[in-house]
Amino acid sequence: MTKIGLEIHCQLTNLQSKLFCPCKANYREFEINENICPVCMGLPGSLPRLNQEAVKKATMIAMALNCSTPKKIAFFRKNYFYPDLPKNFQITQLNIYGDTSIGGTGSVMVGDKEIRITRIQLEEDPGRLIYEGSSSKNQITLVDYNRAGTPLVEIVTEPDFDGPKQVREFLNILSDLLENLGVSDPSLEGAMRADANVSIEGGKKVEIKNIGSFHDLEKAVHFEITRQESLHSREIEIAQETRHWDDKRKITISSRSKEEALDYRYFLEGDIPWVTIESEIHDKLKSEMPESISSKKERYVSKYNIPSQVADVLSSDKFYSDLFEESHSESTAKEIANIITTDLMGLVDTREKREASKITPKHLKDLAETIQSNKISRNSAKNALYEIVKTGKDLSHIISELDLGNVSDESELIKIIREVISEEFQAVEQAKSNPQTVNFLVGKVMQKTKGKADPKLTLDLLKKEIGV
């Protein structure tokens, strides 16, 4: 049986500062080596200063993944030399001397399958290496330390996955969960990275490192299983080794480095005293936890009678569910859910479009109410939504500007209906014998009014005119 375990690194991108210094956690907006200070550069004499907010956020992640949360946590040094590591050790956590990591064992359901979490640890991200030069002879390595010290949460799972699809589903759940908690923006480049352990029946464990995105993780796992199965079928032994993911060629390559043989000489980081998470703080964090995605979904279905599939889509994306939460009322909930999932999602399907979008909860509320009071057709509402996202203008403005309001003046509508009846003799006859087909005529009226006719009124008047 194929076994896959994951180590997922997730940056706490929504924090103000790095894990041990006041530099910005959001390093992406800086020029190279501008987001640094004596602490994250590991200058002689500097000391780490623990970001308490990071401890809280990481604890919330542990809670959301149903992990145990120890009362006292400790930090350790992982010692190894690497140019992206300013101190040549990384401050991290581990559980070899008792459960001192921020999260202990937990679990997540992926469909019917339980994926067990081994532990969650809070640690600092290293800097970023940039390789330049075409051949190995003239290759140079540049280091950008802007990222060094960014708060990182490592989530380690048991080898409970049986294939890439399950990995993908888990990552989707995890990514939605982190976003829902408001701790991280998984769509930011490099915010989510992972290592994977893959073994097939009868083979040894292979670790794949350096997978820079969730998308590639699924590919890497898939590639690795195929590679191992191919070896196995040719009766070639699968070596226990570390491989790197080459994201250009989309393959895994054996790393010839001695990394596996490294002895990290873990010991307690004396510069950071043990942190006690008092039960009051623990309870407070628990009470501050945002509603989970599954509970949201359940509420949408049971309270508003929103179809399960729509509720699923709506609840798992924080951007949409926030919009929904702030705009809906009991009577408009279903309408708004529909607007979001059928129309809005298509308009803002990328990160850039979302960020540029001008839509507010009030827009959605107005839109739903206007539809419900028959002042605008669903068709026109779609056009209005497009304008809202683009300009952010008031709905009433947009309706009058683009003349999107429903034709609900009876006399005007009857004029148009009579026109249609005179033009569509055959259809009228057909409608008389088969009232189901009257919708064809409604469509014709709609065409003439460019979709602005009040559909219900149109139908009523039509029936009356034809006499069915």
List binders of another protein among 350-409 (CB under 8 A): none
For another protein, the closer of residues 88 and 434 by Cβ is: 88
What letter represents residue 154's amino acid? E
Binding part of the chain for another protein, among 39-47, 109-117, 226-234, 326-334 by CB under 8 A, reads 39-47
Q: Is 56 among the residues that bind another protein (CB under 8 A)?
A: no
Q: Is 141 among the residues that bind another protein (CB under 8 A)?
A: yes
Interface pick for another protein out of 95, 104, 105, 143 (rule CB under 8 A): 143
Interface pick for another protein out of 271, 312, 325, 465 (rule CB under 8 A): 271
Q: Is 107 among the residues that bind another protein (CB under 8 A)?
A: no
Q: Least CB distance from residue 46 to another protein, whole Å?
A: 7
Q: Least CB distance from residue 44 to another protein, whole Å?
A: 4
CA distance 389 to 275: 46
Closest CA to 244 of 171, 204, 190, 195: 195
Tokens of 385: 């939504």
Question: CA distances (Å), 258 to each of 80, 127, 208, 242, in order?
Answer: 12, 21, 15, 10
CB burial string 219-255: b at 16+ within 10 A, e below: bbbbbbbebbeeeeeeeeebeeebbbbeeeeeebeeb
Q: Please check whether residue 313 is in contact with residue 342, taking contact to mean a CB–CB distance below 8 angstroms.
A: no
CA distance 445 to 439: 10
Q: Is 66 among the residues that bind another protein (CB under 8 A)?
A: no
Interface pick for another protein out of 48, 103, 149, 451 (rule CB under 8 A): 48
Question: How wide is the angle at C-alpha 328 spanned by C-alphas 327 and 330, nearest 5°?
Answer: 160
Q: Is 46 among the residues that bind another protein (CB under 8 A)?
A: yes
Q: How do beta strands 206-211 and 241-246 pair?
A: parallel
Q: How do beta strands 113-124 and 151-157 pair?
A: antiparallel
Q: Least CB distance from residue 85 to another protein, whole Å?
A: 9
Q: Is 45 among the residues that bind another protein (CB under 8 A)?
A: yes
Q: Least CB distance from residue 76 to another protein, whole Å?
A: 11
Which element (helix H / strand E) includes 206?
A: strand 206-211
Interface pick for another protein out of 272, 281, 301, 347 (rule CB under 8 A): 272
CA distance 314 to 339: 11
For another protein, the closer of residues 98 and 270 by Cβ is: 270
Interface pick for another protein out of 62, 63, 70, 86 (rule CB under 8 A): 86
Binding part of the chain for another protein, among 79-87, 160-168, 177-185, 418-426 by CB under 8 A, reads 79-87
Interface pick for another protein out of 72, 83, 331, 439 (rule CB under 8 A): 83
Q: Is 126 among the residues that bind another protein (CB under 8 A)?
A: no
List binders of another protein among 309-338 (CB under 8 A): none
Q: Is 89 among the residues that bind another protein (CB under 8 A)?
A: yes
For another protein, the closer of residues 133 and 182 by Cβ is: 133
- 20 CB contacts (<8 Å, ≥6 apart)? 39, 40, 48, 49, 50, 51, 91, 124, 149
For another protein, the closer of residues 267 and 284 by Cβ is: 267
Q: Is 274 among the residues that bind another protein (CB under 8 A)?
A: no
Q: Least CB distance from residue 265 to another protein, whole Å?
A: 5
List binders of another protein among 247-266 (CB under 8 A): 263, 265
Which residue is associated with the tokens 């802007």?
146
Interface pick for another protein out of 16, 32, 34, 38 (rule CB under 8 A): 38
Q: Least CB distance from residue 263 to another protein, whole Å?
A: 5
Q: Least CB distance from residue 253 to another protein, whole Å?
A: 19
Q: Based on the number of CB atoms within 10 Å of its own CB, is 403 exposed (0-12), middle (13-18) or buried (19 or more)?
A: exposed
Closest CA to 174 of 8, 308, 53: 8
CA distance 327 to 223: 45
Interface pick for another protein out of 42, 212, 290, 405 (rule CB under 8 A): 42
What letter represents residue 350's amino acid? T
Binding part of the chain for another protein, among 73-81, 307-315, 335-343, 345-353 by CB under 8 A, reads 73-81
DSSP state of 38: T
Closest CA to 172 of 108, 229, 122: 108
Which residues would be at the binding site for another protein (CB under 8 A)? Answer: 38, 41-50, 77, 79, 81-83, 86-89, 141, 143, 263, 265, 267-268, 270-273
